[in-house]
Amino acid sequence: MAQAKCSEIIVQTLKNCKVKYIFGTPGTTEMPILSSLIKKAPSIKYITTYLDGLAIGMADGYARSSGKVGIANLHATQGTLAAVGFIRAALRDQSPVVIISGLPSHSYELVEPTHFIYGLTDILRRVTKWAWQVNSPDQTAHALERAIKIALTPPYGPTFLGIPQDLLVESSEFNSYPLHKCNNLNTCADSDKIQIVATTLLKSKNPIIFAGQKIPRSKAQKELTVLAEILAIPVISEAPDRGPQVYGVNMPSDHPLNAGYYTNRDETIKSFIDNADTIIEIGCKATYKRVVDEIKPKHRIIEITDDPMQCGNYHPITLGLTGDIKINLDKLNSILRQQVKKYTKEIEKRREAITNRINSKKIEYKKELDKIKLTGSKTTPMQLVKAMNEAFTDNTIFVDESQTFSWYFKQHFKFTLKNIVYGTGASHLGWGPPFAAGASVFHKNNKVVCLVSDASFLLSVQTLMTIAKYKLPVLIFITNNKGFTSLKIEAQSYGNFGNSQLKHLNLDINKLSYEKIANGMGIKSLTIDKPKDLTSIIKKAYNIRGPVLIDIQMDDSNNVWKDGWFKAPAK
Ligand SMILES: Cc1ncc(C[n+]2csc(CCOP(=O)(O)OP(=O)(O)O)c2C)c(N)n1
Ligand SMILES: [Mg+2]
């Protein structure tokens, strides 16, 4: 058996696992890995980020868009700890990211604290699905293959592998293990359980579907639509009412059974939930009480998910199906097709009532948008979404981190099933730009549009340098309302503060030239002042080859949000 250095085993194992990219901000400790990469595996591209967490953000974007593992390389204690927020976001979003870090050499652990902290791997254990410190070089291949396998086993999640510097240069026998295709296990629930769900649904008078972010990730949009159509069930897509988390497109906006993204400002959605006897939650992660207060103990809840820990997590459920969402839905649909005939009359009556109700809501929404004119001196959120509907094609890929604007995007953009939308459930500001950059490494022939609000953008502004260096096809779309608007709304609502009191917190951002920042980092940029230019400039920016940034000067003083979620206790 051939001997190899630990660092060589790492790169060879990555090559065996068909890894094409490593996203990293490296340091001295990792030199043996980088050196082996150059000498033994130059086909793997090293994409450098200029802040540690951005390597995780990019690996997350690459992993979630490609369905493959995203490999990140961080520097020992400093880089790894600097990236913890992004790692926690990847955990919350169940993203298959593998983090490889060098650890300080055993020889200087005792006397040189620069690179050292006790129990780094234990700290990482709290924010990953699995974390391991390699104890001898002969463990390396097995440990790395396990890290990849665990990350890619549903429910996905980040894993961490720490390798002390002294071990990186030691040799051992190189024994490659086959990587099991655990992500293709195709698990599904027992047939008798699926039959019980089918019978319950057939007998329900007013079932509704809460469709979650896992549906597009499981490529189960078609199965969802078939289920809704067989039984005439309205579909509400999960979304926190506020904040950026559009999780994906479950159904085209114009489908007659699509009631839209959840918002507690919508009477149609609220009445569907209130009148429902059965709620089917499919692949959901944002239906907990703070978001959807309308789900009550009176509801019979059926949960279909690929995550056993999620099943029954937010509400007491009556029935649960775990396993591959697409397969479970497909099996459920086959049973329903065979057994639905007896119920046709009631179902058709329900279909008429539901489609009429949804149609009236859509007519109201359309009227609201039709009234909007692209005139005036600054852009309102409704003007922006109107222009986006005119400017973008039906297969545009979006990464949404637009905070206050996100509500308008979810409610008024006309989504088709060709649109891809990535979001985060982690509420970690700055997630969007590196995610979009990582996703564009995969979607290299399309432009990825990153909707990002100004403060969120500033938290990961260094991403522009990586985007420029690798000429990544990203359109950064800053919804610039000159400050922490959502936080101002929270503060105003919590403390009932007037503008002068709010000044104390300095939540405004000074006038800043994003155009100059972008140009300084080598990226083309445009600023939009007037709504009348919106559609043409967006189209122009979208069609420019390579990266572009547009700064949209927003006026969201009439934002739909007036109240905060964190209420001050009554006096
Ligand atoms: C990493 C991180 N830090 C702080 C927060 C708290 N936070 C939530 S919203 C917000 C302000 C966001 O401002 P901006 O991104 O400009 O969006 P806007 O509300 O103005 O649309 C802050 C600071 C957070 N969610 N994540
Ligand atoms: Mg802002």
Tell me the pTM: 0.96
pLDDT of residue 372: 97
240 close to 331: Cβ distance less than 8 angstroms: no
**Coil, helix or strand for 365?**
helix
CA of 400 to the centre of ligand 1 (A): 14
pLDDT of residue 373: 97
pLDDT of residue 185: 60
Whether pLDDT at 181 is above 60 = no
Q: How many CA atoms lie within 13 A of 543 on its CB side?
A: 9
- The residue-averaged pLDDT of 149-167 equals 94
CA of 32 to the centre of ligand 1 (A): 39
Angle of helix 52-66 versus helix 432-442 axis, rounded to 10: 50
Backbone angles phi, psi at 144, to 5 degrees: -70, -40
Report d(CA 458, CA 230) in Å as an integer.
47
**What is the residue with the minimal CA distance to atom 18 of ligand 1?**
485
CA of 454 to the centre of ligand 1 (A): 9
Ligand 1 proximity of 487 Cβ (cutoff 6 Å): yes
pLDDT of residue 184: 56
Whether pLDDT at 183 is above 60 = no
Ligand 1 proximity of 140 Cβ (cutoff 6 Å): no
- Per-residue pLDDT tens for 87-113? 999 999 999 999 999 998 888 777 877
Angle (CA) 511-513-517 rounded to 5° is: 140
Q: C-alpha 425: how far from its chain's center?
A: 6
pLDDT of residue 432: 97
Give the nearest ligand 1 atom to 484 CA.
Answer: 13
427 close to 243: Cβ distance less than 8 angstroms: yes
CA of 456 to the centre of ligand 1 (A): 6
Mutation to probe ligand 1, out of 456, 460, 505 (largest number of atoms < 8 A from CB): 456
Mutation to probe ligand 1, out of 400, 403, 409, 493 (largest number of atoms < 8 A from CB): 403
Confirm whether 3-173 and 372-560 share one CATH topology.
yes
Q: Which ligand is nearest to the CA of 381?
A: 1
Give the nearest ligand 1 atom to 459 CA.
Answer: 1
- The residue-averaged pLDDT of 143-164 equals 94
**How sure is the predictor about 571, in pLDDT bands with cuts at 50, 70 and 90?**
confident
Q: Which CATH class is domain 372-560?
A: alpha beta
47 close to 34: Cβ distance less than 8 angstroms: no
The tokens for 262 are 């959840």
The tokens for 163 are 């390798």
pLDDT of residue 564: 81
- Per-residue pLDDT tens for 241-286? 666 566 689 999 999 999 999 998 999 999 999 999 999 999 999 8
- The residue-averaged pLDDT of 459-472 equals 98
More confident residue, 555 or 337: 337
- The residue-averaged pLDDT of 291-314 equals 94
pLDDT of residue 2: 83
529 close to 378: Cβ distance less than 8 angstroms: yes
Mutation to probe ligand 1, out of 384, 487, 512, 552 (largest number of atoms < 8 A from CB): 487
pLDDT of residue 179: 62
23 close to 71: Cβ distance less than 8 angstroms: yes
Q: Which residue from 316, 270, 327, 312 is spatially nearest to 294, judged by alpha carbons? A: 270
% of the chain exceeding 90 in pLDDT = 83
453 close to 429: Cβ distance less than 8 angstroms: no
Whether pLDDT at 517 is above 80 = yes
Ligand 1 proximity of 456 Cβ (cutoff 6 Å): yes
**What is the residue with the minimal CA distance to atom 5 of ligand 1?**
429
More confident residue, 385 or 555: 385
Report d(CA 53, CA 46) in Å as an integer.
16
**How sure is the predictor about 568, in pLDDT bands with cuts at 50, 70 and 90?**
confident
Assign domain 191-360 one CATH number from 3.40.50.11720, 3.60.15.10, 3.40.50.1220, 2.120.10.30: 3.40.50.1220
Give the nearest ligand 1 atom to 452 CA.
Answer: 15
Ligand 1 proximity of 427 Cβ (cutoff 6 Å): yes
pLDDT of residue 178: 62
pLDDT of residue 180: 57
| DSSP letter (8 states) at residue 419 | -
**What is the residue with the minimal CA distance to atom 14 of ligand 1?**
455
Give the nearest ligand 1 atom to 427 CA.
Answer: 25
Q: Where are the domains of the chain?
A: 3-173, 191-360, 372-560
CA of 534 to the centre of ligand 2 (A): 19
- Per-residue pLDDT tens for 420-448? 999 999 999 999 999 999 999 999 999 99
CA of 429 to the centre of ligand 1 (A): 6
**How sure is the predictor about 557, in pLDDT bands with cuts at 50, 70 and 90?**
confident
Residue 186 Rama label (left phi>0; alpha psi -120 to 50; beta): left
Ligand 1 proximity of 406 Cβ (cutoff 6 Å): no
**How sure is the predictor about 116, in pLDDT bands with cuts at 50, 70 and 90?**
confident
Whether pLDDT at 25 is above 90 = yes
Ligand 1 proximity of 454 Cβ (cutoff 6 Å): yes
Report d(CA 358, CA 351) in Å as an integer.
11
Report d(CA 140, CA 158) in Å as an integer.
18
CA of 539 to the centre of ligand 1 (A): 28
pLDDT of residue 257: 98
Report d(CA 406, CA 432) in Å as an integer.
12
- The residue-averaged pLDDT of 151-173 equals 94
Ligand 1 proximity of 453 Cβ (cutoff 6 Å): yes
CA of 405 to the centre of ligand 2 (A): 9
Ligand 1 proximity of 481 Cβ (cutoff 6 Å): yes
The CATH superfamily holding the domain 3-173 is Thiamin diphosphate (ThDP)-binding fold, Pyr/PP domains (3.40.50.970)
CA of 485 to the centre of ligand 2 (A): 5
- The residue-averaged pLDDT of 482-488 equals 92
